[in-house]
Structure 1
Amino acid sequence: MLNLPTEIWLRIFENLVCWNPYEAKNNGALLRICRNAFSGGLPVIYFFPKLNAKNYAKFFNTISETDFGKLVHHINLTNISYTSKASITSRLLRRCAENLESFSGPQTGLGFTALRALSNCTRLKKIDLSVLSERIDLQYLFAGIRNLQYLEYIDFPALSKFSPGHNECWPPSLVHIGFAGAITDGFVAQSSFPPSLKSVCITNCPQLTDTGLFTLLSKVGEIVTSVTIQYPMAELSRNALDCVFQLCPYASVVSVPANYITSNLFESLSESETSHKVEHLEISYSGGLLTTISLVKADDIVSALADGKLPQLRRLQYSIRLGWKEESEDVQDLVDLIDDQGGEVFVSVK
């Protein structure tokens, strides 16, 4: 085979991943073609390695025994279940700290040493701990991220605790926060969120009540452009989210479960020139069709549209579980009104 220069091999490997450079790849076998292919392809292969339970141990050993860690920009351990230990995760983060931009945590094996090791990854922009199935103390997480100046995105784990008397300090550049786990009314009341925040997702917060949710949305509602609340939220009342449009007037994307809204969500909208800016509205529902509660109806949205309360709505997505019949007059009116605004209506299974 023609022994191409290292620069050419680098370009070849870059073309292999150029269609989606931020997706994990596993093209390591191509490094065996020749020495120049190895030298040219190494930075591309290790940029975002595709890790699983079978190759994780070998990857960790290679990172531990070489300086390849500086080539790693993204680590995704979501497919690593019971093969990950906290000490290994901690060492891996330290070895890859120099250029690491994103870290998606494993299902298990993320102790306080690994959380503290995040502080060494000064270039981190994204942390996703949403699949973690072990309970962690959030004080160690905040200790690890408080000085990460470039961190923009963080998703909290569903299982966590918060030591009493510990005050959190949010990184200054956060754009998205995924709230979950040990988020309480007191936690929210004491928090001062960065003005850079644009997106919030709230789910699996079993201790957050209507008061805490109202406080949270009151603090961030004026600055966020995307608000997502997902079932389950055990302590929320039936109409807890009827205030979301008022508290988040500039949110162009709003996603709420029908479990926590009533027709008042739309009736309370203003008809003034400062009508709500929502462009994409999603209404999910976790429950059966044979329910005793009064669910929001298509006619509630039809009335809001007809009154000019949602002039910028372009995309409506609703759960099939709401029981809205596509052939019904209300749904047909809904489709027509959104079509008149240049939008579309979609039905989802969630």
Structure 2
Amino acid sequence: MTYANYLPDELLLEILNHFTAWETVERQTALARFSAVNRQWYDVAIQLLYESPYLFGSAYELFVRTISPSVLARIKPTSLSSLVIRLDLSHIVHQGNKSTTARLLGRTKASLQEFIAPQASFAINCWASLSKCSRLRVLDLSLVSECIDFQSLNQALRQLTDLRELCLPRCSSRYEKSAPSTNLRWPPKLGHLSLSGSVSGSFLWDMRRQPNNFPPTFSSLGISHSPGLDHQGIQSLLCSLGATLTVVQLHDLPAVKQGRLNGVLDWLPSLVSLTVALDYIDMRFGHMPTDFQPARWREAKPLRTLTLVTSGRTGDPSRSFTATDLYAMIDERFLGRLRYLNIAQSTDWANENEGDELGALESLLVEELDKENWLERRWHYEEVPFTEMSRMSYEQWISETATGRKMRPRFKVLKR
């Protein structure tokens, strides 16, 4: 049997396309072995191998030795550093140190677009290197355990003009108001901000007082792991940003009591995606009028995606928001635009008592509501051309057409 000594690059790239669906570790291992076959295979796969490396244990040490072999920046530069697009150090705890993190940022600054900071090896000496990553789009500091000085962070952010997503650390942070009117400067393309840690006091006040300092692209806000933030602080912040926010996530907020976030749909008139813990809402969630009925479907809230989770706290069971309450909001078309519903398994809605209600919810959302909107050409179906599709049934539309399969609603029970 004879074997081909040469395969066209196009065929090799087609083989590599199959790797994208694999698990991260399996994909990384396969890419490394693929690159070791010969020089041609190396040239084809090396960019994929380094653009988003999975770093843990001894693999991190080898990566550092390759990308940054010396403390001196002029010693043994390597072109591989310019291939790194996503640098995820979330699995690094004891292997690294702060100076190594700063060196890695300095080496990859020309190409880096996403950086997830490590828990223990990120500190003040990393700010200078971070500020030079001019192409950075995602900055995730949520794992950082060392106290962050917001003024130093703000200085670095001013240099990151292409930043789209920012996650602040869960640890405490120092925010010292140096003047009566501290000017918060956010990156000009920022779209998502995740707040956590000690988000309170002067920092929260300055955010509420300067909503116009957020760029026009800002539309998504996450608030979590903030023990000092109560419902009043959250409400005032959301209301000040209500004109622009379309996506909000609220969970792991110990100071927020049951029912205190019932009005979030009123505070945010343009909200299309909401993630909220059941701990903070009750049976009055959404403030649906008692006389609301399907004939008033035009007044439906704009919410399209709802994710319900839990933070592990228990309130008054007689006031809890249940699957039956959500069913009524959809059935009366108060949430008539809802298309994607995610229920965390930890909510216990799938237990013996409410398992039937959960099945009824899925049937109402996936079959009845969407079919009605399709037949009446409502909401997201208004702009769809129905020339040939007008002769189809709804069932044919969602099963036999690519557009129908893409637009159909989704119901999921989240295990994590």
Q: TM-score, normalised by structure 1?
A: 0.86
Q: Secondary structure at the match of 2:175?
A: coil
Q: Deviations over 1:251-280 (max 9, x none)?
A: 221111111112222334695634211122
Give the SS at the match of 1:316: strand
- Which of structures 1 and 2 has the bigger CA Rg? 2
Stretch of structure 1 that moved more, 68-77 or 82-91 = 68-77
Name which of structure 1's ranges 117-126 and 154-163 shifts more when overlaid on structure 2.
154-163
CA distance in 2, matches of 1:14, 1:87: 40
Cα deviation, 1:31-78, whole Å, max 9, x if unaligned, reads 333344444443332222222121212211221233221221111111
Matched, 1:96 2:99: no
1:34 aligns with 2:65: no
Which whole-Å CA distance do the structure 2 matches of 1:230 and 1:293 have between them?
A: 22
Q: Return the offset for 1:124.
A: 0.6
Q: Secondary structure at the match of 1:303?
A: helix
Q: CA deviation at 1:347?
A: 3.7
Name the CA distance, whole Å, in 2 between partners of 1:112 and 1:333.
53
Counterpart in the other structure of 1:176? 192
Instruction: Tell me the C-alpha RMSD between the 2 structures.
Output: 3.1
Deviates more, 1:104-113 or 1:36-45: 36-45
Distance 2:262 2:66 in 1: 53
Larger proportion of helix: 2
**Paired residues of 2:198 and 2:226 also in contact (CA < 8 A):** yes
- Determine which of 195, 201, 207 is the counterpart of 2:228: 207
Partner of 2:81: 69
Letter in 1 for 2:368: D
Residue 57 of structure 1: aligned partner: 61
SS at match of 1:200: strand
Higher deviation after alignment, 65-74 or 287-296: 287-296
Whether 2:305 is the aligned partner of 1:280: answer yes
Three-state SS of the structure 1 residue aligned to 2:335 is coil
Q: Give yes or no for contact 2:132–2:159 (8 Å, CA) kept in 1.
A: no
CA distance in 2, matches of 1:69, 1:251: 41
Structure 1 pair 347–73 and aligned structure 2 pair: CA distance change class (3 A): closer
Aligned residue runs from structure 1 range 22-171, under 5 A: 25-26=28-29, 27-64=31-68, 65-67=76-78, 68-165=80-177, 167=182, 168-171=184-187
CA-CA distance at 1:156 after TM superposition = 1.8
Equivalences, count: 346
Q: What 5-or-longer segments of structure 1 have no aligned partner? A: none
* Greater alpha carbon shift after TM alignment, 133-142 vs 34-43: 34-43
Question: Contact between 1:189 and 1:215, CA under 8 Å: does it hold in 2?
Answer: no
Cα distance, 1:30 vs. partner? Answer: 3.6
Cα distance between partner residues in 1 of 2:284 and 2:227: 24
Aligned-partner Cα distance in 2 for 1:105–1:309: 42
**TM-score of the pair, normalised by structure 2:** 0.73
Q: Which runs of 5+ in 2 are unaligned?
A: 69-75, 208-212, 371-408
Closer/same/farther in 2, CA of residues 341 and 184 from structure 1, 3 Å limit: same
Pair 1:340 & 2:368 matched = yes
Change (3 A) 1:295 1:33: same
- When residues 33 and 190 of structure 1 are mapped into structure 2, their CA distance, relative to the original with a 3 A threshold, is same
Please name the residue that 2:16 is paired with: 16
- Out of 77-86 and 260-269, give the one that drifted further: 260-269
Q: Within 2, Cα distance between the matches of 1:255 and 1:278?
A: 11
Matched, 1:227 2:230: no
Separation (CA, whole Å) in 1 of partners of 2:118 and 2:334: 44
Structure-2 separation of matches of 1:131 and 1:204: 12
Give yes or no for contact 2:299–2:334 (8 Å, CA) kept in 1. no
Tell me: CA distance 1:268–1:74, structure 2 relative to 1, closer, same or farther (3 Å).
same
Moved more, 38-47 or 64-73: 38-47
Distance 2:362 2:21 in 1: 38
CA distance in 1, matches of 2:4, 2:369: 59
